[in-house]
Amino acid sequence: MDAAPKQAGGARLRLRLWQQLESGPAGSARLSTANRLILWLILVSCVLVVLETEETVVMRAPRVFMLAEIVFAIAFTVEYLGRAWSAGEHPRGRWHYLSRPASIFDLLALASFYAPFLPISGVLLRLLRLARILRLARLGRFSIALHNLSAALAARRFELMLSLVIALSLMLLSSTLLYLAEGRNQPEAFGSIPRALWWSVATLTTVGYGDAVPTTGIGKLFAAMTALSGVGIIAMPAGILASALTEVIGRDTGESKRHHRE
């Protein structure tokens, strides 16, 4: 007879935990107390990852860094297990929630904590330890701005893909033209299309390192055309994304005002 009340109590606890870890306060866009704490833990842990790459800093307080790693490992393990258990409240089920890219990033970031305790060394250990920077990707779940950005990218994915295709085509065309114009005079920089492609990327992105420059008249003409095209190539996706963000933010603002009126 006590089984039903226990199950009901467990369901209420799971719902409260889900609201703290995912939904936030009811009827509010603000972060919950638990998520504020998690956000600060992520930021502090990433600062420590950066400091750990400087050996002189670690040598001054090795125990502090070791203790911090243990504390962070315990905290994020408890958080992940809490999310996994409370994900039963997700509308599409626990396994759908755990298979999302955001949840996979959570798991990879958590696994990176235990890399120093694994029987590995050298470059692989360093790579796994630096993988803890993946925790920064988890900040996306706390940011409305990042959600708006992803919605804008999804809404304009075809236009952005078209601009990418145009950019790649222009890079290939300009590198081919510079190979034909400058290949004999500067074989080290333009002796093949792949070699000329480096110059094309630097010019179209308006970086212009200057490590390779055309010297022939026709080469300079092609370079000028490439440089002018680069201005439009950079502006095209920027304009598409700005327009999409304006639409997403405007729609959210309208929905928020309508919700308040209701």
33: nearest Cα among 16, 48, 15? 16
Q: Encoding tokens for residue 176?
A: 């081919």
Two tokens at 144?
Answer: 């409305």
Residue 52 predicted with pLDDT over 90: no
- Residue indicated by tokens 């790693």: 69
Residue 109 has pLDDT above 80, yes or no: no
Is 70 exceeded by the pLDDT of residue 261?
no
Q: What is the 3-state secondary structure (H, E, C) of 178-234?
A: HHHHHCCCCHHHHCCHHHHHHHHHHHHCCCCCCCCCCCCHHHHHHHHHHHHHHHHHH
- The pLDDT value given to residue 2: 56
Give the pLDDT band (50/70/90) at residue 26. Answer: very low
**Regarding predicted confidence, which is higher, 98 or 257?**
98
- Interhelix angle 217-261/144-155, rounded to 10 degrees, is 120
Does the structure show a pLDDT above 50 at 28? no
CATH homologous superfamily for 3-142? Voltage-gated potassium channels. Chain C (1.20.120.350)
Alpha-carbon Rg for the chain in angstroms = 26
Q: What are the start and end residues of each CATH 1.20.120.350 domain in the chain?
A: 3-142
- pLDDT in the model for residue 142: 58
Residue intervals of the chain classified under CATH 1.10.287.70 are 157-261
Highest mean pLDDT among 1-10, 102-111, 178-187: 178-187
* 135 touches 109 (CB < 8 A): yes
Q: What is the mean pLDDT of residues 202-226?
A: 88
For residue 253 the two structure tokens come to 């603002």
Write down the pLDDT at residue 47: 85
3-state secondary structure of 119: coil
| Residue 1 confidence (pLDDT) | 47
pTM above 0.75, yes or no: no
pLDDT score at 221: 93
Mean pLDDT of 21-47: 72
52, 129 contact by CB (below 8 A): yes
Say if domain 157-261 classifies as CATH 1.10.287.70. Answer: yes
